[in-house]
């Protein structure tokens, strides 16, 4: 196997230097062959800058075999260059524009890393982000080298009737005297090499059209395995809605004549925004009512939009270097979240996004893999496609809307698009646009990009009836994180409301000549006091509304205050948050009680508050479902923060679910019945919300283990006319130790055995059963004919699901869960380091565990760290996870 030699190389932001050489154009000629694909690259290179010192030319490569090299048409003598699999160096190139022709061969069938040119089934495809282009040809493989690409692809007509690359098709035809044919694609927009893509294979396509706001006609095509065309309708519809939304919300129009999406079954991530030719994990394209759940539909819509939005935030304006990854990812996640909020329900979208942030990013930020939104050092960039860069990166952009107001935010975005179109930009340049349009000083704001760790804000409010003032004391701190022992205070925008007795917001007026704009308090000091004047009655504080800042908030709100907010807050996010806070307090207490073998406490007030939300007919069903969903086990563990016993957490949570199911049995059943639908399945948000609430009711009822509830789930499983309801029933059953479970799981496999994406759901369910037999079942399933270590979706469905979504069994007290994950990581690493490293990061919270498990998890991590010939990906995670600071 071709292991990289730069083991342990750290790359540092402070070492950034502009490239010595620029590439004006790239002409690629790729002759596809399953094991020996020949790549001819003709680069027009020119020195960057004013010719100060003569610069050698050093091109990146990885696992390449050089066949021929010409400079300005003449073969380069061997003494004038050095070619290794990982680099091509010309020590003394002419210091002027010249043409370099490079011929390499690569073996796409042997490419199990799925980076560079590889085969997914019989399809040829590429994945170049972040550093995959160097696995195709020698190139200055860095995002600040932007070139115009022309790509000629040639292949056996019978093997690859469809040949695609970035840009517009300019020529195609047969290769005379052979069974081969070719296609030539030209992309007029200069782009970094990571956005290059080509695809070849037997693909069917679904076509549509889009008329842009200036009246240009764009052809839209989605390519899939023949036979899967009917499952592309929702993806195509989502694409058109995303294109229209980007025009209306951001004034961004599509720029080529054609936009293509290709779905492949072997893909390391969700999807990739290659210019004009997005390549997708087929899981995020294919959907029909019978095969996909509401959540699948929602994810497809969001990811199609995300990749499309990259055309402006990522492609037209790209990143100067990989430290700036959040420039494109945080911003594009912010844009796709806003799209989903506009398409669906803003409140529900916000709550779901914050749940995701807390259960992934907050946990990352609290452990040894914590890093700033813009890291300053990396050993393997693939390990930085993280919740911090993506999700916290989106929160940082969102804070600009709160700090500057929505109008200034849009002005800043417009300036960014106008000023930096065609650039490889930095975070400083992005933030400067907002400073320029608003006049604000955003120096302190930059700390959100450089300081890791989740800031903690403590709020203490006190009402003075005589003075009619409400005094709010705020204090902030940022915990130490690896490499950052002490922190500066952050600028924290806190949307605020003072809720009066009738549930309405009281007017906000600050004393002492201070102003409050757009209902947002701005905390900039370690501690500050805000005094609200003319407050006619004792209010209840509603702070960090809409989760305006990604912080941990502690406020002196008693249980009565929280129940009041749950019933009355005008801000739906904080209504939901109030219930979560109540539930979290109880679950943390009960976890301690479980460990002490004590009896769990009941909280009649919480049960009543949940009942009230369920009874409130004015609330949207999807919101009610979220309100009834208890904090996850990982969220509870994060709150406990030390000496965590996952068995106790599980028992506390399951116990509370059962208590809710008992206490609210009647209204839950009533809702379950009322929400049943007879009409055909529609994937829209309102219909999905009704199904979610109905299935949440079912799940709570079944948590009681009562026979009638189990029967209800078993019946729903059988009678369902769509995958959402069938999966929901099966997932409810799978959490209950009843005979119906095995029968339903067998039935499910029998029904869907030949559909890999559905079999993935079956694998996941079995990996997430909270019982001791699960680990052996998971091990046995790795031998099942439906499973393959070579396919990332299968690995994620079975193994990642076990490690991330089954806290109880992964964290078995005997350490067998950790050992299994580590064995898998070591077996997978030589084949696909990116997927192996991601799996290993499931061990990142090991330090918060109780001593027995902590020792076993540490031993497992040490076993990885000590293993010979690790990939940079896995060794980087192992070392950081174990590091002392």
Q: Which residues are catalytic, by number? A: 307
* CB closer to ligand 0A1, 269 vs 652: 269
129 binds ligand 0A1, rule: CB under 6 A = yes
**In the complex, what is the shortest distance from the CB of residue 314 to ligand 0A1, in angstroms, rounded to a whole number?**
7
> What is the side-by-side strand order in the sheet with 87-90?
57-60, 87-90, 82-84
b/e string for 190-227 if b means 16 or more Cβ within 10 A? Answer: bbbbbbbbbbbbebebbebebeeeeeeebebbbbbbee
Residue number with CB closer to ligand 0A1 (603 or 873): 873
| CA dist., res. 809 & res. 816, Å (int) | 9
Q: Which two tokens stand for residue 746?
A: 């067998």
Structure tokens at 436: 């320029």
Q: How far is the CB of 268 from ligand 0A1 (least distance, A)?
A: 4
From the list Zn ion, ligand 0A1, none, partner contacted by residue 129 (C-beta under 5 to 8 A by kind)? ligand 0A1
Does 329 sit near ligand 0A1 (CB under 6 A)?
A: yes
- Closer CB to ligand 0A1, 332 or 724, in the complex: 332
Distance in angstroms (rounded) separating the CA atoms of residues 322 and 727 = 39
Q: Which is nearer to ligand 0A1, 128 or 491 (CB)?
A: 128
Crossing angle between the packed helical segments 604-615 and 665-674, to the nearest 10 degrees: 20
**Using rule CB under 6 A, residue 268 touches ligand 0A1:** yes
Give 317's strand partners: 313
Q: Report whether 38 contacts 30 (CB < 8 A).
A: yes
Least Cβ distance, residue 278 to ligand 0A1 (angstroms) = 9
Nearest distance in Å: CB 341, ligand 0A1 = 19
Q: Is 127 in the site for ligand 0A1 (CB under 6 A)?
A: yes
271 forms part of the interface with ligand 0A1 (CB under 6 A): yes
Region binding ligand 0A1 by CB under 6 A among candidate stretches 265-273, 639-647, 680-688, 707-715: 265-273
Q: Tell whether residue 277 is a contact of ligand 0A1 (CB under 6 A).
A: no
Q: For residue 8, how many other CB atoms are within 10 A of its CB? A: 9
Select from 131, 154, 246, 273 the one that contacts ligand 0A1 (CB under 6 A): 273
The site partner of 591 among Zn ion, ligand 0A1, none (C-beta below 5 to 8 Å per kind) is none
166 binds ligand 0A1 (CB under 6 A): no
Applying CB under 6 A, does 417 fall inside the site for ligand 0A1?
no
Nearer to ligand 0A1 by Cβ, of 33 and 266: the residue is 266
> Minimum distance from CB of 873 to ligand 0A1 (Å)?
11
Per CB under 6 A, the segment of 65-73, 266-274, 514-522, 527-535 that binds ligand 0A1 is 266-274
Min dist CB 876 to ligand 0A1, Å, is: 16
Give me the DSSP letters along 434-462.
Answer: HHHHH----TGGGHHHH--S--EEEEEEE
Least distance to Zn ion, CB of residue 646, Å: 32
Restricted to residues 311-330, the positions that interact with Zn ion (CB under 5 A) are 329
Q: What angle do CA 608, 609, 612 make, to 5 degrees?
A: 85
Are residues 330 and 399 in contact, defined by beta-carbon separation less than 8 angstroms? Answer: no
Sole binder of ligand 0A1 in the list 59, 160, 165, 269 (CB under 6 A): 269
Distance, in Å, from the CA atom of 753 to the CA atom of 757, rounded to the nearest integer, reads 10
34 binds ligand 0A1 (CB under 6 A): no
Work out whether strand 258-264 and strand 21-31 pair parallel, antiparallel, or are unpaired: unpaired
CB of 146 to ligand 0A1, least distance (A): 17
Q: How far apart are CA 324 and CA 130, in angstroms?
A: 12
Q: What is the rounded distance in angstroms from the CA atom of residue 880 to the CA atom of residue 321?
A: 22
Number of residues written out for the chain: 885
What binding mask, one character per residue, do residues 373-402 give for ligand 0A1 by CB under 6 A, x or -?
------------x-----------------
Q: Which is nearer to ligand 0A1, 390 or 748 (CB)?
A: 390
Strand extents, DSSP E, 420-550:
424-425, 456-464, 469-477, 492-499, 520-523, 527-532, 540-543
Residue among 284 and 802 whose Cβ is closer to ligand 0A1: 284
Query: Other CB atoms closer than 10 Å to residue 608's CB: what's the count?
Result: 14
- Least Cβ distance, residue 77 to ligand 0A1 (angstroms): 38
Nearer CB in complex with ligand 0A1: 116/372: 116
CA-CA distance, 445 to 545, in Å (whole number)?
20
CB of 390 to ligand 0A1, least distance (A): 7
Angle, CA 190 vertex, CA 201 and CA 114 arms, to 5° = 35
The H or E element spanning position 715 is helix 707-719
Q: How far apart are CA 129 and CA 135, in angstroms?
A: 11
Contacts with Zn ion by CB under 5 A: the residue count is 2
Q: Does 496 bind ligand 0A1 (CB under 6 A)?
A: no
Contacts with ligand 0A1, 290-309, as mask; x by CB under 6 A: ----------------xx--
Window contacting ligand 0A1 (CB under 6 A); options: 48-56, 223-231, 263-271, 454-462: 263-271
Applying CB under 6 A, the span of 60-68, 271-279, 291-299, 455-463 interacting with ligand 0A1 comes to 271-279
C-alpha 475/C-alpha 596 separation (Å) is: 34
**Residue 272 makes contact with ligand 0A1 by CB under 6 A:** yes
Smaller CB distance to ligand 0A1: residue 126 or 824? Answer: 126
Q: 269 or 494, CB closer to ligand 0A1?
A: 269
Q: Which of 674, 740, 676 is nearest to 702 (CA)?
A: 740
Contact 736, 657 (CB under 8 A): no
Token match 């129940």: residue?
563
Say how far apart CA 543 and CA 798 lie, in whole Å. 40
Tell me the number of residues near ligand 0A1 by CB under 6 A. 12
In the complex, what is the shortest distance from the CB of residue 385 to ligand 0A1, in angstroms, rounded to a whole number? 5
SS (H, E, C) 751-769: HHCCCHHHHHHHHHHHHCC
The residues that bridge with 425 in the sheet, in sequence order, are 319
Burial of 78 (0-12, 13-18, 19+ CB in 10 A): exposed
Stretch of residues binding ligand 0A1 (CB under 6 A), selected from 267-275, 422-430, 782-790, 876-884: 267-275
Residues engaged in binding Zn ion (CB under 5 A):
329, 332
Residues engaged in binding ligand 0A1 (CB under 6 A):
127, 129, 268-273, 306-307, 329, 385
């Amino acid at each position: 196997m071709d292991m990289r030699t730069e083991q342990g190389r750290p790359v540092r932001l402070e070492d950034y230097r502009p490239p010595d050489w620029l590439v004006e154009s790239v002409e690629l000629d790729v002759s596809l062959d399953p094991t020996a694909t020949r790549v001819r690259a003709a680069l027009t290179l020119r020195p960057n800058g004013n010719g100060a010192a003569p610069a050698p030319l050093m091109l990146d490569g990885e696992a390449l075999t050089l066949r021929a090299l010409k400079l300005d048409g003449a073969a380069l003598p061997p003494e004038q260059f050095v070619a290794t699999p990982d680099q091509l160096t010309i020590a003394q190139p002419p210091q002027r524009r010249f043409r370099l022709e490079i011929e390499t061969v690569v073996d796409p069938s042997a490419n199990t890393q799925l980076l560079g040119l590889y085969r997914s089934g019989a399809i040829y495809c590429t994945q170049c982000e972040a550093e995959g282009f160097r696995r195709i040809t020698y190139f200055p493989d860095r995002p600040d080298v932007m070139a115009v690409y022309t790509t000629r692809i040639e292949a056996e007509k019978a093997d690859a009737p469809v040949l695609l690359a970035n840009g517009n098709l300019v020529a195609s035809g047969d290769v005379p005297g052979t069974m081969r044919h070719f296609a030539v694609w030209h992309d007029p927009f200069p782009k970094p090499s990571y956005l290059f893509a080509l695809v070849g294979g037997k693909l069917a396509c679904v076509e549509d059209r889009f008329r842009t706001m200036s009246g240009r006609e764009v052809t839209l095509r989605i390519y899939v395995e023949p036979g899967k065309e009917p499952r592309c309708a929702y993806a195509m519809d989502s694409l058109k809605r995303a294109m229209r939304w980007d025009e209306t919300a951001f004034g961004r129009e599509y720029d080529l004549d054609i936009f293509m999406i290709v779905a492949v079954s072997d893909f390391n991530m969700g999807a990739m925004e290659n210019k004009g030719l997005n390549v997708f994990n087929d899981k995020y394209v294919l959907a029909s009512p019978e095969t996909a759940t509401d959540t699948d539909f929602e994810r497809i819509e969001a990811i199609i939009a995300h990749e499309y939005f990259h055309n402006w935030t990522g492609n037209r304006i790209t990143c100067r270097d990989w430290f700036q990854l959040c420039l494109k990812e945080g911003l594009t996640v912010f844009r796709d979240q806003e799209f989903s909020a506009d398409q669906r329900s803003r409140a529900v979208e916000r709550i779901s996004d914050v749940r995701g942030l807390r259960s992934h990013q907050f946990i990352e930020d609290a452990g040894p893999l914590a890093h700033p939104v813009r890291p300053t050092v990396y050993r393997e960039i693939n390990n930085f496609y993280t919740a911090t860069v993506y999700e916290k990166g989106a929160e940082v952009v969102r804070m600009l809307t709160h700090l500057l107001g929505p109008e200034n935010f849009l002005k800043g975005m417009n300036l960014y698009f106008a000023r930096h179109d065609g650039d490889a930009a930095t975070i400083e340049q992005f933030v400067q646009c907002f400073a320029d349009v608003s006049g604000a000083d955003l120096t302190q704001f930059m700390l959100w990009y450089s300081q890791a760790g989740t800031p903690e804000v403590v709020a203490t409010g006190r009402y003075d009836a005589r003075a009619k003032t409400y005094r709010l004391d705020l204090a902030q701190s940022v915990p130490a994180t690896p490499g950052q022992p002490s922190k500066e205070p952050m600028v924290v925008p806190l949307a605020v409301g003072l809720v009066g007795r009738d549930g309405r917001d009281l007017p906000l007026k600050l004393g002492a000549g201070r102003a409050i704009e757009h209902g947002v308090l701005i905390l900039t000091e370690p501690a500050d006091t805000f005094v609200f004047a003319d407050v006619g009655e004792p209010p209840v504080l509603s702070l960090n509304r809409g989760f305006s800042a990604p912080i941990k908030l502690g406020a002196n709100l008693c249980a009565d205050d929280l129940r009041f907010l749950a019933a009355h807050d005008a801000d739906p996010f904080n209504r939901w948050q109030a219930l979560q806070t109540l539930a979290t307090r109880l679950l943390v207490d009960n976890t301690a009680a479980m460990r002490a073998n004590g009896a769990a406490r009941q909280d009649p007030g919480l049960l009543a508050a949940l009942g009230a939300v369920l009874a409130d007919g004015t609330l949207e069903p999807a919101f009610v479902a979220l309100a009834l969903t208890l904090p996850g086990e990982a969220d509870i563990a994060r709150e406990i923060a030390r000496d965590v016993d996952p068995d106790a957490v599980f028992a506390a949570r399951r116990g509370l679910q059962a208590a809710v199911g008992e206490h609210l049995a009647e209204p839950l059943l009533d809702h379950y019945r009322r929400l049943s639908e007879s009409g055909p399945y529609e994937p829209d948000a309102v219909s999905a919300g009704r199904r979610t609430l109905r299935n949440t009711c079912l799940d709570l009822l079944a948590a009681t283990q009562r026979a009638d509830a189990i029967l209800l789930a078993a019946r729903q499983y059988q009678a369902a006319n769509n995958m959402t309801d069938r999966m929901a029933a099966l997932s409810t059953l799978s959490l209950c130790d009843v005979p119906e479970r095995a029968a339903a799981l067998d039935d499910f496999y029998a029904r869907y055995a030949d559909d890999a994406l559905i079999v993935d759901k079956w694998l996941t369910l079995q990996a997430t059963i909270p019982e001791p037999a699960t680990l052996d079942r998971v091990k046995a399933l790795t031998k099942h004919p439906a499973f393959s270590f070579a396919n990332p979706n299968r690995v994620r469905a079975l193994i990642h699901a076990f490690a991330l979504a089954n806290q109880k069994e992964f964290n078995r007290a005997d350490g067998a869960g950790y050992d299994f994950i580590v064995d898998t990581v070591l077996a997978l690493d030589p084949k696909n380091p990116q997927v192996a490293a991601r799996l290993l990061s499931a061990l990142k919270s090991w330090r918060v565990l109780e001593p027995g498990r902590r020792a076993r998890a540490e031993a497992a991590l040490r076993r990885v760290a000590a293993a010979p010939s690790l990939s940079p990906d896995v060794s980087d995670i192992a070392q950081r996870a174990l590091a002392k600071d």
